[in-house]
Structure 1
Amino acid sequence: MPDTSLMQRVRGEAHVTLGRHGLRDLRQAGSAKAILPRTDAPEPEVVFLNTAGGITSGDRLDYMLTLGSGARATAGTQTAERAYRATDGPGRVVTTLKLGAGAHLDWLPQEIIAFEGCDLSRITQVEMAGDATFLGVDTVVLGREAHGETLRAARLDDLRRITRDGVPLHIEHLTLGPDMLNDPACLGGARAMATLVMAGPAVSDALEPLRAVLSAQDVTAHASAWDGRLVARFLSRHPAPLRRALVSAILTLRGRPMPRVWQCEVTT
């Protein structure tokens, strides 16, 4: 008799390589996919997606985007990723972004929605040349607000690492567990949070325009800049105002519209 206790697990890999003049290589397997939709933007847009619809115990997804020298691109995810209830260890998502000399990447994935009982481990690593420019965002929503869901047993382990010419530039490791989710000293009642990082030459020039935009938002948000990187952090009790604030910040830093997959109309 077959062992019916073994459940099917998701496996997927999607790797994209772009040069100065467009696509050089595309490889994908399993439930991880990458598409390059036609857009009016001057640079390619890469959209990663998980056809399984979410992450649970034992799942593993690997995404990789490589930009050659002088290449420019916008990349992100098709929709919010869902971290479902996990009963046998974490699901894992590893994203690797490589930027060659003079390359420019706007990495704009949509949010992770953590369901009650989820267990998610993520690693996002960015390897950039010294004169490359990177704009990246990471958003986490704790529970489904429309369902009145309050997380009590969820787990999230999230490592983000940026290196410039092989030297660590920005490293942060967020770990949330059941003892932290409702601790006022941890998130202060917030159920949505985001971090925006921009790294590259002269990024500090964008600090004051960004602060002006953040001051008009109905969320807790602050920004600072130092040593070739700009960091902004957002907290909100509700996902919708955080998303609006985040989009306004990204528009200010990009100077052009959001990718079509974000399906929003927010102006600065």
Structure 2
Amino acid sequence: MNQIVDPFILGGSAGPVIKAACQARLTLGFVDDAGTTRLVERSHFGPLRVQKPLYPEAPSICHAIVVHPPGGVVGGDELHIKTSVASGAHAFVTTPGAAKWYKANGHVSHQLIELDIAAQASLEWLPQETIFFDAAHVRLQNRINLGKDASYIGADILCFGRTASGESFHTGKITQTSEIRREGKLLWFEQGSIAGGSSSMHSPLALAGNTVSASLIAVGKQLPASLIQRLREEAIALTGDPHAVGVTQMKTVIVARYMGHSSEMARQWLTRMWQIVRPELLGREGVVPRIWNT
């Protein structure tokens, strides 16, 4: 494995401590057991874990919290999370706090998320925010495969630099690709690349000078035009800026976006969008998980 210097572990007079890049994998499997969704597989390698299954809503919805014990990702680390939801099951997956991607130290960090949602199953993939420290070099990949009549709600909040600490994203590079397929047919594909300090940080076609971006993507049945309009109106009312938000429906795919400078506002926006979409798409009230408030 690559040998890297962790800038957050200092070795005093002996110099920095050298540590190996981390390889971590987590595989989760959910099945329907006579109306109860059970977590039947949670195998792992390296520092990725999932806490015990929780049922704060009903036995039919299994909540799982993915934990990365080191608390941050350094240059060269590789994370791979694979989740499968069997027919009729409903899983809700989140994280206990923000993911932190540290300085690259000459190595690229990589995260691959693979989600397989069988026919008539549902998965909500709603991690908390992701913070990219200055000089981070990160490659993110999301691959979602849906069966017939499966439903999916996924989201992310990306924070470029620790603005609360006065840090900007001056150097480094973040690339992200996301693809969603149903029964092998491509429904949605997007890719982006942001280099710290580049013109794309300020271009109206990219971040437009903002430091926080957030997305919610929902796939299932086509929703009424009145609901799409409600999403737009409530997003504008919450943020106070019609240029900071947008909502689009393309057949069975809904995409909502936010850009701004506040991760807290992004969280409020994302929560509200989810609370509106969830009852229509999944037939469940959008009760905020307790872990989001801790």
**TM-score scaled by structure 1?**
0.92
Q: Does 2:283 align with 1:262?
A: no
Structure 1 residue 98, shift from structure 2 partner:
0.6
Q: Which residue does the alignment assign to 2:49?
A: 33
Distance 1:247 1:69, change over 3 A: same
Q: Could you list the runs of 5+ residues in structure 1 that have no partner in the other structure?
A: none
Q: Does 2:175 align with 1:157?
A: yes
Q: Which residue does the alignment assign to 1:217?
A: 238
CA distance in 2, matches of 1:121, 1:170: 19
Q: How does 1:1-268 map to 2 (within 5 A)?
A: 7-21=19-33, 22-42=38-58, 43-178=61-196, 179-180=198-199, 182-185=201-204, 186-204=206-224, 206-218=227-239, 219=241, 220-254=244-278, 255-263=285-293
Structure 1 residue 37, shift from structure 2 partner:
4.1
Structure 1 residue 226, shift from structure 2 partner:
1.5
CA distance in 1, matches of 2:251, 2:146: 15
SS at match of 1:163: strand
CA distance in 2, matches of 1:210, 1:4: 45
Moved more, 252-261 or 139-148: 252-261
Question: Which amino acid is 1:15 matched to?
Answer: T
CA distance in 1, matches of 2:207, 2:41: 42
Preserved contact between residue 190 and residue 238 of structure 1 (Cα < 8 Å): no
Structure 1 residue 257, shift from structure 2 partner:
1.1
**TM-score scaled by structure 2?**
0.84
RMSD: 1.9
Deviation per residue, 1:40-59 (Å, 9 max, x gap): 21110011121121112210
CA distance in 2, matches of 1:156, 1:239: 18
Structure 1 residue 68, shift from structure 2 partner:
0.3
Percent identity over paired residues = 22
CA distance in 1, matches of 2:93, 2:292: 11
Question: Which amino acid is 2:72 matched to?
Answer: G
Q: Could you list the runs of 5+ residues in structure 2 that have no partner in the other structure?
A: 6-17, 279-284
CA distance in 1, matches of 2:276, 2:65: 22
Structure 1 residue 244, shift from structure 2 partner:
1.1
Larger of the two Rg values belongs to structure: 2
Question: Which amino acid is 2:248 matched to?
Answer: S
